[in-house]
Structure 1
Amino acid sequence: MASKLKLFWMLPISCLLLSNCLHTRGNADPQVPCYFIFGDSLSDNGNNNNLKTLAKVNYRPYGIDFPEGPAGRFSNGRNMQDVIVELLGFQKYIPPFARANGRSILKGVNYASGSAGIRDESGAQLGARIPLNKQLKNHKIIISRITQILRNDTSTRKLLNQCIYSVQIGSNDYINNYFVPEVYNTSRQYSPEQYAAVLVEQYSQQIKVLYGHGARKFALYGLGLIGCIPFVISAHGTNGSLCVEKLNNAATLFNARLMPLVKELNTNLTDAKFTYVNPSPSPQDALSFVTNSTCCKVGGGGGELCVRNSDPCSDRSRYVFWDGVHPTDAWNELVAQSAYRTNSTNEAHPFNIQTLAKLK
């Protein structure tokens, strides 16, 4: 991979580094009444803060460009879902399940957990986490609370039918499972093709659980180029390639299973809408992003996170990677804008997030 990528728009630096973009928006209603977030560290906004785990980031320099400081996001600022929440017109970010209370839950809840996976055991070597199965159970708790607030099952179901459900998970099932043979035996049980099939089958059942709880609008995210992550390159080596091809190939196999699943779900569950989102903008669409270096000094967590209280790079708007695994606010802005607005079927199919929000 080249050391720089090309961006097709200049990032709004005033929102990126100086202030919370939500504070500059009007008081119009959001495009959907609520937004529920499931996933891993790419979406976690504080659920891991009080867990016994290496996968938590409630310390500086995390959050250095976020108004609340190190709130638990694996970034210098916003994560991708924060930006999508802004684009959808919400006045506040979606609260993490760990702190969600009162009527705020009517706008949605973020259940994502750093190091979590589709499989319950993924990420176990890093400590406690909230796998997708547990996130689904936490969602049932929230549904019960919503029903208590609205005092009516029908009103609850009507509300949930209108929400968007964002699910971005699967990277840890590879980075912190399949490709850690000294801890997990999945690579001895399954070929990469078999593992992708097993993962997506389990994922399919988990998505149908959400559907059974009233979810009708789904954004399902594919895996990015996990073989180009700095920590992965450091851990596995590239044998002269730019990235770790075996991990990128595995991600491609997963995505190749997920895309037809989305089509199948749209065909069989006709009262629901599903879309597949590719979280990897094309290199030719960018301007001056550094891809071969991290913005902070890494060595924290399991070796991939920022060192506590270290000084990060000064020009954080130019870097793809904040730490050894996770993107900067700037890159999250780019990817979220793409997911929300793109007309490219390579980036979102059959529709983007903006269109998903409008569908009845």
Structure 2
Amino acid sequence: QGGRISFSGQVQNYQSAVEQLVSILGDEDAAANHLSQCIFTVGMGSNDYLNNYFMPAFYDTGSRYTPAQYADDLAARYTQLLRVLYSYGARKVALIGVGQVGCSPNELATQSANGVACVDRINVAVRMFNQRLVGMVDQFNRLLPGAHFTYINIDGIFSDILRAPGGHGLKVTNRGCCGVGRNNGQVTCLPFQTPCPNRNEYLFWDAFHPTEAANVLVGQRAYVARLASDVHPVDLRTLARL
């Protein structure tokens, strides 16, 4: 597997790319005009909860921070890096909220009593972070000239899907299509493992990640909001027209 690049590392890579773009287009004004027409999507936070805050065997953040303190710390770091993106030309930015981590097959397998009920304490903690993203969007749009930030409410969209999965073409919401153990979520999909034959009917592909079918549902509602709560303040189609 390849290594992960931190958000700060990705922002540094973006800064380098912008410098190259300036050279290609000839000057900073041309680059700024080009970048102002682009849509940037930024989705961060899932691993900070899945693979850090709620992983006490490896990290002590869960004991050092309350959920509110942890959300504040993440949001503060996030804000700094988004300001760098803005200073390097990003104007239309969609912040992708963190989904229902407490409903993933891994959390259901390890922390749900019946393997069906989502782990509320995890989802409550994640929602604290998402609430700060909404505030961040409002602040950027108010204070940064030319900024058009929006928030995609993955948590809310997933909640809507879970309330009526059949209406969204899904049949299995608490097990991975590919995985090992309880809920196919104790060990994620292994190399050469045979997945389920009907992946389009599953919400989750493996212990952590949604299927393509689920991502299509989310993508459609991010682009054209079905409910007012799907986005804040605008969907991606509207953002593109600004």
TM-score, length-scaled by structure 2: 0.89
State the secondary structure of the residue aligned to 1:310.
Answer: coil
How big is each residue's C-alpha offset from its partner over 1:196-253, in whole Å with a ceiling of 9 and x where there is no partner? 1111111111111100101000100111110000012223x12457011111111111
Residue 294 of structure 1 is matched in structure 2 by: 176
Say whether 1:339 aligns with 2:222.
yes
Q: Is the 8 A contact 2:173 2:202 kept in 1?
A: yes
Alignment length (residue pairs): 231
Q: Is the 8 A contact 1:297 1:311 kept in 2?
A: no
Say whether 1:161 aligns with 2:39.
no
Q: How does 1:86-235 map to 2 (within 5 A)?
A: 128-235=3-110
Cα RMSD over matched residues? 1.9
Fraction of identical pairs, as percent = 40
Q: Is the 8 A contact 1:164 1:218 kept in 2?
A: yes
Q: Is the 8 A contact 1:343 1:352 kept in 2?
A: no
Q: Is the 8 A contact 2:179 2:187 kept in 1?
A: no
How big is each residue's C-alpha offset from its partner over 1:22-72, in whole Å with a ceiling of 9 and x where there is no partner? xxxxxxxxxxxxxxxxxxxxxxxxxxx5x3xxxxxxxxxxxxxxxxxxxxx
- The alpha-carbon distance between structure 1 residues 298 and 209, as it changes in their structure 2 partners (threshold 3 A), is farther
Separation in structure 1 between the aligned mates of residue 8 and residue 133 of structure 2, nearest angstrom: 18
State the secondary structure of the residue aligned to 1:139.
Answer: helix
Q: Is the 8 A contact 1:291 1:320 kept in 2?
A: yes
- The alpha-carbon distance between structure 1 residues 149 and 289, as it changes in their structure 2 partners (threshold 3 A), is farther
Once the two structures are TM-superposed, the CA of residue 188 in structure 1 deviates from its matched residue by 2.1
Q: Is the 8 A contact 1:341 1:354 kept in 2?
A: yes
- Whose helix proportion is higher, 1 or 2? 2
State the secondary structure of the residue aligned to 2:132.
Answer: helix
Say whether 1:238 aligns with 2:121.
no
Separation in structure 2 between the aligned mates of residue 329 and residue 341 of structure 1, nearest angstrom: 18
Separation in structure 2 between the aligned mates of residue 306 and residue 146 of structure 1, nearest angstrom: 39
* Higher relative contact order (Cα pairs below 8 Å, separated by 6+ residues): 1
Q: 2:189 aligns with which of 306, 316, 320?
A: 306
State the secondary structure of the residue aligned to 2:125.
Answer: helix
Give, as a single letter, the amino acid of the residue that structure 1 aligns with 2:124.
N
Once the two structures are TM-superposed, the CA of residue 339 in structure 1 deviates from its matched residue by 0.3
State the secondary structure of the residue aligned to 2:58.
Answer: coil
How big is each residue's C-alpha offset from its partner over 1:130-155, in whole Å with a ceiling of 9 and x where there is no partner? 11000000111211222222222221
Once the two structures are TM-superposed, the CA of residue 192 in structure 1 deviates from its matched residue by 0.7
State the secondary structure of the residue aligned to 1:346.
Answer: helix
- The alpha-carbon distance between structure 1 residues 286 and 343, as it changes in their structure 2 partners (threshold 3 A), is closer
Once the two structures are TM-superposed, the CA of residue 304 in structure 1 deviates from its matched residue by 4.2
Separation in structure 2 between the aligned mates of residue 273 and residue 292 of structure 1, nearest angstrom: 36
Separation in structure 1 between the aligned mates of residue 28 and residue 187 of structure 2, nearest angstrom: 44
Separation in structure 2 between the aligned mates of residue 293 and residue 305 of structure 1, nearest angstrom: 11
- The alpha-carbon distance between structure 1 residues 297 and 194, as it changes in their structure 2 partners (threshold 3 A), is closer
Residue 234 of structure 2 is matched in structure 1 by: 351
Residue 268 of structure 1 is matched in structure 2 by: 143
Give, as a single letter, the amino acid of the residue that structure 1 aligns with 2:60.
N
How big is each residue's C-alpha offset from its partner over 1:92-139, in whole Å with a ceiling of 9 and x where there is no partner? xxxxxxxxxxxxxxxxxxxxxxxxxxxxxxxxxxxx421100000011
Residue 66 of structure 1 is matched in structure 2 by: none
Q: 2:124 aligns with which of 249, 264, 277?
A: 249
Separation in structure 1 between the aligned mates of residue 74 and residue 66 of structure 2, nearest angstrom: 12
List runs of 5+ in structure 1 lacking aligned partners: 1-48, 52-127
Once the two structures are TM-superposed, the CA of residue 343 in structure 1 deviates from its matched residue by 4.6
Q: 1:320 aligns with which of 197, 203, 209?
A: 203
Separation in structure 2 between the aligned mates of residue 182 and residue 288 of structure 1, nearest angstrom: 34
Say whether 1:278 aligns with 2:153.
yes
